[in-house]
Structure 1
Amino acid sequence: MRPAVYKAWARAFHSNLQEPALPLEEYPSLQAFFIRSLKEGSRPIDPDPNCLVSPVDGKVLRLGQLRGPGTMIEQVKGFSYPVSSLLGATSSLHDATEEDISGEQTEQNVPESSNAKSWWRVSVASPKLRDRTLLSPKRGIFYCVLYLHPGDYHRVHSPVDWSIFKRRHFSGNLFPTNERAVRTIRNLYVENERVVLEGQWKEGFVAIAAVGATNVGSIKVSLLHQTELCIR
C-alpha cells in the first residue's frame, strides 16, 4: 500500500514523482519518502563561485538587509521579530555587522585610483546585464525567508562553499508555518524549535536557521561533502 499512499500524498501536495532517487516501493515509511533524496542532476548548481544558491526548494516570503543584531524582520504586516532572537544572543552576527560598518568607512577613505583589494569589492552575484549601473557591488548582510510547502523536497543544502564554526539547537513549539499561522501567531519563527548553523565563506558571515513545524519536528545535520539538513 505504500506506493499508493505516496502517490496520494504527491497529488495532495503537488510533489513531483519523477524526481525521487528511489522507486516508491523502496521507501519504508512516509517519513522516509518525505525526506527523499533526488535523482542526480535534478537541481543543477550554478558553478559561479560568487553566486549564492538557494539552499532549498521553497517560496521566498521575505528578503532584505540586516543593519545590525537588533534589526527587525517582518513576519507579516504588524508582526516583526529581531534577528538576534532568531539566531540567539551569542550569534556572531554582531561582530559581522560591526565589520560591515568599519568596511563602509574604509570604502569612503580609499581613493578610486587605489589598488587596495577587500572582499566588499566583490558582488554577491554576477548577473549578465547590459546596464552597468546594475552591476555595482552592494555590500552588507542580507536575509531571505523561504517557506517549504509539504510537497517540497525537504533537504537543505549549503548555499555556498563555507566553513561552519557554530551549531546551536533551540527547543520550542512546533506550530504550523503555513500562511494562516504566519498571520496569526506572533514571533512564530522565534517560538518554534530550530537549529542554527553559523559560519564563514569568502565574502563573510553566513547563517542558516532551519525552523521546525507541525509534524516536521526532527532536524538531522549530516556533514558530508556539503552540509545537508534532513528536516523531518
Structure 2
Amino acid sequence: MKYQIIPVTPFQQNCSLIWCDETKAAAVVDPGGDMDRILAEVDKLGVKLEKILLTHGHIDHVGAAKELADHAGIPIIGPHKADSFWLDNLPEQSKHFGFAHSEPFAPTQYLASGDTVTLGSLTLEVLHCPGHTPGHIVFFSATSRTVWVGDVLFHGSIGRTDFPQSNHQDLIDSITKNLWPLGRDVEFVPGHGPISTLGTERDQNPFVADQLFS
C-alpha cells in the first residue's frame, strides 16, 4: 500500500490518496475541497480512482465528495450513519465556515465497526470512533500498520468536542479503547497536521497519554 497526503481547503485538511501498488486501484480519503488538485495528483501518480472514503461529515472533510463522485463515477463510502445529520446540514456548514456552497448528499454506503473496505489487494478495517462527531470512523490497514483517524487524534492533541452531538468522554474512549489496542508501532494520518505514531501519543500527548490514566 502507498499513500500521498494532499492538503486541501483553507483548513489545510489532510486529504489522502491511497492506492494498491499491485493494481493501482486508488481511493481518496476525506476530499474536503480542491477537486482539481486531487485529480491532478491522481493523474500524476497514474492510479485508478475507484472510491471515496469519508471519516466524518464535517465540510472540510467532505466538501468535494459529491462533486468528485459525480465527476469520476465512483461511490462514496462512509462515514457511520450517525453523521447523516452533518451531511444533510452541508449548506449551513458552507455558510458558517466560509466555504463554497455544498449540497447535501447521502453516501453510497454507510459503515460501522467490523466492516471492511477493499482496494485492489488491500483491505482496510473500519472502527467506529465517536466523540468528535457521533458517526466518526477510522480506516486501518493492518498490513501497512497505518490508520487514517480523521479528527479523532492529532500529534499532541485530540479532536474538538464542542460541536452538536460531540462528546468528550466518547472521544477519550475511542482513542484509548479503539486506537491504542492497534499497537504502539502504528502510524496514524490525522485530518490536520503531521503524522505520528500511536506509541508517541501514548507517551507524550497531554490529553491522552497513558500516565493520565494510571
Larger radius of gyration: 1
TM-score w.r.t. the length of structure 1 is 0.24
Determine which structure has the larger helix proportion and give its number: 2
